[in-house]
Amino acid sequence: MDDNNDTPISEDDWGAAIAEQEKADAAAAAAAATAATSAPPAGPAIFKEFAGKGAQSGTHNDIDFILDIPVQLTVELGRTKIAIKNLLQLAQGSVVELDGLAGEPMDVLVNGCLIAQGEVVVVNDKFGIRLTDIVTPAERIRKLNK
């Protein structure tokens, strides 16, 4: 049945559609064969450089596209695991023990990936972090492969 109207499609309609498709395919094949025989012989390809700029200068422009993409920066003080019953007992003033030690460097994560470590500082009554160690790209790749 045809979707646009409810008239049944007969065998003759299918046969006519198949014949029409075969004619179109034959015409396309003939056009491709004619174009192949009249084309000039293949030679070395000549490529022009776009906008007359070298590959080095194009690399700088490519990074400009991603400079404004926001990422999630997290400073992790520590972690812990607690049971749900202990979680439900937490109230204002409760203290939760973390696995991080006082004076230990804090982990700095970007989108969940460790990129640096640092120490907490207070500037104008606001917390900040002074980076003390940056994870090298080689170390980050090594961690991803584990």
Do 71 and 111 contact (CB within 8 A), yes or no?
yes
pLDDT tens sequence across 44-74: 667 666 665 555 555 556 778 888 899 999 9
**pLDDT tens, N- to C-terminus, the chain (146 residues):** 444 555 555 667 777 777 887 887 788 777 766 665 655 555 666 766 666 555 555 555 677 888 889 999 999 888 899 999 999 999 999 999 888 888 888 999 988 888 999 998 888 988 899 999 999 888 888 877 76
Domain 71-145 has CATH 2.30.330.10: yes
Give, in degrees to the nearest 5, the angle at Cα 57 between 54 and 59: 110
Ramachandran bin of 57, using left for φ above 0, alpha for ψ from -120 to 50, beta for the remaining angles:
alpha
- Residues 135, 141: Cα–Cα separation, whole Å: 10
